[in-house]
Amino acid sequence: MMKPQDGAGSLILFITPLLFPYGFSSELSVVTCGSVVKILNTKHNVRLHSHDVRYGSGSGQQSVTGVTAADDGNSYWRIRGKTTTVCERGTLVRCGQSIRLTHVNTGRNLHSHHFTSPLSGNQEVSAFGDEGEGDILDDWTVICSGEFWQRDEEVRFRHASTNVLLSVTGEQYGRPINGQREVHGMTYASPHNFWKVMEGIFMKPSEPPRTDFTHTEL
């Protein structure tokens, strides 16, 4: 039986990105809860990705990588409220708000913890949970300027529990995920931890975004 959180995310399995280009509903300039998106690391031009392949070291949880292919169906993530909360579909995501990113095809959440990443020796980032439910280590804070997360803006994701930033520095895996890049957590801000939303289904805002944004760094 389909669970409530499956909703629009499940539909993406049958939709190609060509049907929902980045410019779809271009008037929707703010990222909203319930949207199902691909997220690009702008330094290395790879999309945040996961798949049912586990790490051979560290936590042994589902691996998270970066891929160059724009059309890979394993790169879709659903934007949700932080653990134990509900962010209603269409709610504007604020700068400084904590969210979960749930991998559509496996139902596991973007996650981090005090394990060492296999290639760079930074902090491991994995996918964790069952049918969208994990624990507080699934929460990430959106770091951006202004009041709301803008679709055309480069942002950072800070892990709410350990304070590392979601990052890519270019290390590549061999088999069985040859050529995919390591995604990990870094303790400091750099160009390696900027991300931007790309293709996907963007939920219409449930309220109009305000125009009196304050442009202050968090």
pLDDT, tens only, 39-86: 999 999 999 999 999 999 999 999 999 999 999 999 999 999 999 999
Burial of 127-158, coded b for 16+ CB within 10 Å and e otherwise, reads bbbeebbbeebbbbbbbbbbbbbbbebbbbbb
If we measure between CA atoms, which residue out of 34, 133, 23, 125 comes closest to residue 76?
A: 34
Q: What CATH number did the domain enclosing 42 receive?
A: 2.80.10.50
Rounded mean pLDDT of the chain?
Answer: 86
- The answer to whether position 211 is within a domain reads no
| Domain span at 103 | 7-15+28-201
Number of domains in the chain: 1
Q: pLDDT category, 207, cuts 50, 70, 90?
A: low
Average pLDDT, integer, range 167-194 = 96
Is the confidence at residue 122, as pLDDT, over 80?
yes
- The answer to whether position 39 is within a domain reads yes
- The answer to whether position 1 is within a domain reads no
- The answer to whether position 134 is within a domain reads yes
Q: What is the pLDDT of residue 22?
A: 41
Collect all residues with Cβ–Cβ distance below 8 Å to 111 and sequence separation of at least 6: 61, 125, 126, 127, 128, 129, 134, 137, 138
